[in-house]
Amino acid sequence: MRLNSKIRKISGLFMIMLVVGMILVTPAMACPAGTPCDFTASGIEKNEITGMEKYENIAFALNLKDVQKLSGSPSATDLKQIEDGAKVYSLEKTLEDGSVDYVTGVILPVEVIAEDNISVQISNVFVIWSDEKPAQVMSSTQIFEDKTLKELTLSRVSDDGEILNTQIVSKGAIIGDANADFFTTSTKDGYWTCVGNEIIDDCLCSVLGIVCPPGTPSICDVCLTLLTPCYYMPSILTCSPAALCMGLEIAVVMAQCY
């Protein structure tokens, strides 16, 4: 994690994550008629994993080379904070033939830095995998400034070990930076294009500051509400709930394209 004398870092992020976790598992969103609240328009059912299984999955994720590269080899103290703030989910994906694919998703809060009442930058690393498919790893960096989501950048590690970046939001506007290298690989052509396009769709309403029509992704129903206090008083306390909510939605998108 980076240190800056002008920036105050709040070490109580773990407690924030616990509170946010309670928010995320409650039926806060408007549910489609006839479906349970934990089943969203994306077709992915989300169930949080806790206890020993949670920490086993976190350990697996942290041992991946791509995770270590994207998280910047944190110190032992920072690593403990990442482990404490991490969230693990079982993402149940219903396939076209009616069968269910069980995907594990891990959200690792790598960095939170804030300049009081000016801006907040939050970085998460996401890992998904299943018994049949290898892990996919990506990170996101979000900057909240001037009462809006100012920047959203996605990063991943290429086949040859290079960190690739693509910017989805810049200066508060959707730009969908067309970094061809980010979106294609020699073995998984099309996967990252799917991820980028789905995240743009998910983020559009929150960036515009409007409530999306029924049937749109859950980020518009839940995350937009959580962003409101962040817009008006940017701080780690006010922005972390929205960042984790967006983090879960990004993990769901990764599973949806998996």
The reported pTM is 0.75
72, pLDDT greater than 90:
no
Of the ranges 37-46, 82-91, 110-119, 189-198, the best mean pLDDT one: 82-91
14, pLDDT greater than 80:
no
CB 181 within 8 A of CB 172: no
Question: What is the predicted pLDDT for the residue at 130?
Answer: 92
Looking at this protein, which amino acid is placed at residue 109?
A: P
Cα dihedral 32/35/40/45 (nearest 10): 180
Q: Which range (80-84, 130-134, 206-210) has the least confidence?
A: 206-210
Query: 36 or 145: which carries more pLDDT confidence?
Result: 145
82 burial level (CB within 10 Å; 0-12, 13-18, 19+): buried
H helices of 48-135, in order, are 51-62, 65-71, 76-85
User: Tens digit of pLDDT for each residue in 77-131?
Assistant: 788 888 888 899 999 888 778 888 899 999 998 887 877 777 888 889 999 999 8
Question: What is the predicted pLDDT for the residue at 215?
Answer: 54
For the chain, what are the domain ranges? 13-21+38-256
Measure the CA–CA gap between 217 and 214, rounded to whole angstroms.
Answer: 9
Q: How far is CA 249 from CA 2, 91, 110, 140, 232, in A?
A: 26, 11, 17, 12, 23
Longest CA span, the chain:
55
Q: Which range (15-29, 60-74, 104-118, 161-175) has the least confidence?
A: 15-29
Closest CA to 90 of 76, 102, 78: 102
Interior/surface letters 124-147, b for 16+ CB within 10 angstroms, e for the rest: bbbbbbbeeeeebbbbbbbbbbee
Interior/surface letters 16-53, b for 16+ CB within 10 angstroms, e for the rest: bbeebbeebeeeebebeeeeeebebbbebbbeebeeee
E-strand stretches of the chain: 44-48, 87-94, 100-115, 119-129, 136-145, 148-157, 163-170, 173-174
If you average pLDDT over every residue of the chain, what do you get? 74
Q: Which pLDDT band holds residue 240 (cuts at 50, 70, 90)?
A: confident
Percent of the chain whose pLDDT exceeds 70: 70
83 burial level (CB within 10 Å; 0-12, 13-18, 19+): middle
Measure the CA–CA gap between 118 and 109, rounded to whole angstroms.
Answer: 21
**Mean pLDDT in residue range 63-89:** 86
**Mean pLDDT in residue range 133-162:** 87
Closest CA to 109 of 136, 130, 84: 84
Question: What is the predicted pLDDT for the residue at 185?
Answer: 64
258, pLDDT greater than 70:
yes
Question: What is the predicted pLDDT for the residue at 168?
Answer: 83
Measure the CA–CA gap between 209 and 215, rounded to whole angstroms.
Answer: 17
